[in-house]
Amino acid sequence: MKGRLEGKAAVVLGCSASGGTGWAIAERLAADGARIMVAARSRAGIAALAARTGGVAQVCDVADPAQVRALAEAARAAFGAIDIAVDAAGLPVAGAIADIGDADIRAALDVNYVGPIHFIRHMAAAMNDGGAITLVSSSSAAQPMAPYFAYACAKAAMDCLVRHAALEYGSRGIRVNSVMPGPIRSDMAKGLWAVPGMEAVFAREVPLGRIGEPGDYADAVAWLSGPAFVTGLALPVSGGNQLTRSPRLDEMPPVPG
């Protein structure tokens, strides 16, 4: 039985961490039949993922517009044109408004907002009409989560970008959406969940009673990458956490060091 994405070509950026969100998304799209180009700043991880999925690896830093353009050109050279593009890159910059450095603010914007502008622009140019672009946002874009204001504000700008892109590319049938993970068992957050009691504090704010797994987000992206009649949506994939809140710092167990 053929997969629902059989014959489609996909680019997934931000998938070098084994078992992480981007990794799970790439594996799911490949399992559904898509030909895959996987990309990240580090070649080591994506080389292993490309081998697992039968895909192609391409180094790309989303914060560098020239590298994003090169990624789109490489995908066009490999596949002729693409049908699916996913940006799962993220940089969770921490710091309070009162004392965060300018370089940290700029880094948060470059990876989480400016980079996605170039990603949408270049992937749409390399994309067949009727394709799908999905960006990975964060529940913190709508629910304050200290001390990650710079990250959260950049992701909120990205969600606004999605709405504008959905209008701009709708005439070509290209759907542009984002998914908003809540608390997630990712490589980026493994240090947080290693703190005794931390996972339980976050799970209390999730109506479905647990934090998310990478496969939960892969399921959502796979659906948005198919023929879903959906565009311009920031989709919470959080087990209902969007109905509650993020824990306050004074509710969390102390983090060693």
Q: Give me the catalytic one of 148, 151, 169, 217.
A: 151
Active site residue 151: yes
Torsions phi, psi for 28 (to 5 deg): -70, -45
Residues labelled catalytic: 151
